[in-house]
């Protein structure tokens, strides 16, 4: 990796940790509603993929993107349902998943998230400015390990498996539809962002993904927070395990470099991770150097 590329990625990461709407979310997506099955689907525009449940007796959303795209989503929902929204669920605290919360303030009865999410969300806003802090809308219902609710004829389960992409990630599972929203636990064939300042951990991320794949049915469908355009943001158990395998190989590769006496800078010169070349694609703001540098810090702290 060229020094100029390294400096570019470092600057972007610094920006992402300060902004309420992280830089990586600014990859535009075509706006659309796509039903997957049994009233559960996804909405893509800009930021993390929104999941939804829309039936005659239930209305739920997972994540809120940004204020403008949240408004577009709500407009589309109102064309499909006259109900007030039962729940907005935040999969984690990053701004491209919670920045649209204010648009749901008078539309959703409750906002649900892991108990760590409001604190991380507030801390990220405080690193920006008071105006950003004042704009935040936080979950009013939180949980520690598990949360379940019957909504209409669907049962929704939220599970926190531990630190991974952040310290407050949830897997959101629609039991009867057999569809899971992974938030940013899966960047489908894309270099993932990880937030150590908010409790993230690469090693446990591997375990979280494998536990999810083990716990859910083999034929479950998955919605991902972000993805390589070639592979999209919807997939299967195999895609979840691909992400887990990438993270495991990343840690193995970096540890091998450490054992060989290489410096962080020397290890970060690698252009691709063997076996995972598809994770590098044009237009994505993160490079392999960010993954290596962050893994190195985790392994040597």
Query: Which domains can be identified in the chain, with CATH numbers?
Result: 25-238 (3.60.15.10)
Q: How many CB atoms lie within 10 A of CB 296?
A: 21
| pTM given for the model | 0.90
User: Backbone dihedral region of 280: left (phi > 0), alpha (psi from -120 to 50 degrees) or beta?
Assistant: beta
Q: Report the b/e string of 162-185 with b at 16+ CB within 10 A.
A: ebbbbbbbbbbbbbbbbbbbbbbb
Answer for the pair 98, 64: CB distance below 8 angstroms, yes or no: yes
pLDDT one digit per residue (tens) for the chain, 301 residues: 343 443 334 333 333 433 333 434 444 444 599 999 999 999 999 999 999 999 999 999 999 999 999 999 999 999 999 999 999 999 999 999 999 999 999 999 999 999 999 999 999 999 988 988 999 999 999 999 999 999 999 999 999 999 999 999 999 999 999 999 999 999 999 999 999 999 999 999 999 999 999 999 999 999 999 999 999 999 999 999 999 999 999 999 999 999 999 999 999 999 999 999 999 999 998 999 999 999 999 999 8
Cβ–Cβ under 8 Å, residues 171 and 143: no
**Which token pair is 246?**
């990438």
| Tokens standing for residue 189 | 């064939």
Structure tokens at 263: 């410096």
What's the Cα-to-Cα distance from 136 to each of 94, 104, 166, 228, rounded to whole Å?
12, 12, 19, 30
Q: Measuring CA to CA, which residue among 226, 170, 165 is closest to residue 198?
A: 165
For 124, 201, 202, the CA distances from 298, given in Å and listed in that order, are: 21, 7, 8
């Amino acid at each position: 990796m060229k020094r100029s590329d390294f400096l570019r990625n470092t600057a972007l990461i610094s920006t992402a940790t300060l902004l309420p709407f992280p830089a990586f979310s600014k990859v535009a997506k075509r706006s659309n509603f796509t039903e997957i099955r049994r009233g559960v689907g996804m909405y893509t525009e800009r930021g993390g993929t929104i999941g939804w449940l829309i039936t005659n007796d239930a209305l739920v959303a997972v994540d809120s993107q940004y204020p403008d795209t949240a408004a577009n989503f709500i407009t589309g929902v109102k064309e499909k349902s006259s109900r007030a929204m039962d729940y907005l669920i935040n999969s984690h605290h990053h701004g491209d998943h919670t920045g649209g919360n204010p648009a749901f303030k008078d539309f959703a009865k409750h906002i649900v998230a892991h108990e760590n999410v409001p604190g991380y969300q507030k801390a990220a806003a405080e690193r920006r400015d008071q105006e950003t802090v004042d704009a935040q809308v936080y979950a009013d219902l939180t949980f520690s390990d598990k949360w379940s609710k019957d909504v209409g004829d669907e049962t929704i389960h939220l599970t926190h498996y531990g630190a991974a992409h952040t310290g407050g990630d949830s897997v959101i599972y629609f039991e009867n539809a057999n569809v899971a929203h992974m938030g940013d636990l899966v960047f489908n064939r894309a270099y993932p962002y990880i937030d150590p300042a908010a409790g993230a951990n690469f090693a446990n991320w591997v375990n979280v993904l494998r536990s999810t794949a083990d716990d859910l049915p083999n034929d479950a469908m998955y919605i991902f927070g972000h993805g390589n355009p070639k592979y999209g943001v919807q997939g299967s158990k195999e895609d979840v395990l691909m992400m887990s395998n990438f993270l495991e190989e990343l840690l193995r590769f970096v540890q091998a470099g450490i054992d060989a006496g290489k410096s962080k800078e020397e290890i970060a010169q690698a252009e691709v991770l063997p076996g995972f070349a598809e994770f590098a694609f044009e237009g994505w703001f993160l490079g392999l150097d960010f993954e290596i540098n962050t893994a190195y810090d985790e392994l040597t702290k």
